[in-house]
Amino acid sequence: MITLHHVPQSRSMRVLWLLNELDVPFAVRVHPFDKSLRTPEYLSLSPAGRVPALEIDGERMFESLAIMQYLCERFLEAGLGCGVNDPDRMAFLTWLHFSETVSQHAAALTQQHILLREDWMRSPTVMRLEAKRLEKCYAAIEARLSTPIENRDYLLTSGFSAADIATGQAVWLGRHFMPTEAFPEVTKWLARLMEREGFQKSLPVEGEPVIYNRHYPMPEA
């Protein structure tokens, strides 16, 4: 049995999306985005008190990209990962883990715009700096998607994979702070991903707590 510990709109969303695409049996335990993740019970699953945590066959995993890589390898027949001898293996690992670069900048903006609740706590300089870094990530993805290869609809030559899930979820989250419209290939790629049933199933359902509920504009320079 697989159980995913999940906070809606967090990094665990990409694991939920992957599980939906794999079409394997699993359960989800939803947690609020608060100090309840610091209980001894939960810390036994994820020692840093973060999501995701995955319980599988009596074992536990934490760190979203490690979980995703493991699940892709365990369910290799689903075609969402790459075996060690696959020609796309290098690109798969690169773009899978690049998602964390995108996520780190989005996380820094989340802290500045949402978690630091008082204006005096926030730094407009940090906000603008992290937004520019996020923009550079979009530019890297734009360059990849603009490579003159036939049917470059996804990050890998072989087509849709968990690399699109991880990086796409990070860009979807980043869009709450930095729009993608200046990057047409990224915008079209993200739209394709958001049409997928697996993505739609990973969105918060009515009544679940959410972290982001609007666009968060950058402060004036």
198 and 93 in one domain?
A: yes
Q: CA-CA distance, 165 to 169, in Å (whole number)?
A: 6
Expressed as residue numbers, the domain containing 162 is 89-202
93 and 197 in one domain?
A: yes
Tally of structural domains, the chain: 2
181 and 109 in one domain?
A: yes
Q: Which of the listed residues 57, 78, 99 is the one where a domain comes to its end?
A: 78
8 and 95 in one domain?
A: no
191 and 162 in one domain?
A: yes
CATH number, residue 123: 1.20.1050.10
Evaluate whether residue 212 is within a structural domain. no
Per-residue pLDDT of the chain (221 residues; tens, 9 = 90+): 899 999 999 999 999 999 999 999 999 999 988 888 999 999 999 999 999 999 999 999 999 999 999 999 999 999 999 999 999 999 999 999 999 999 999 999 999 999 998 989 999 999 999 999 999 999 999 999 998 776 689 999 999 999 999 999 999 999 999 999 999 999 999 999 999 999 999 999 988 889 998 999 988 76
99 and 44 in one domain?
A: no
CB atoms within 10 A of CB 25: 8
Q: Which of the listed residues 78, 104, 133 is the one where a domain comes to its end?
A: 78
Distance of CA 19 to the CA centre of its chain: 13
CA 130, 132, 138, 141 dihedral sign is negative
Please indicate, yes or no, whether the overall pTM of this predicted structure exceeds 0.85. Answer: yes
Evaluate whether residue 208 is within a structural domain. no
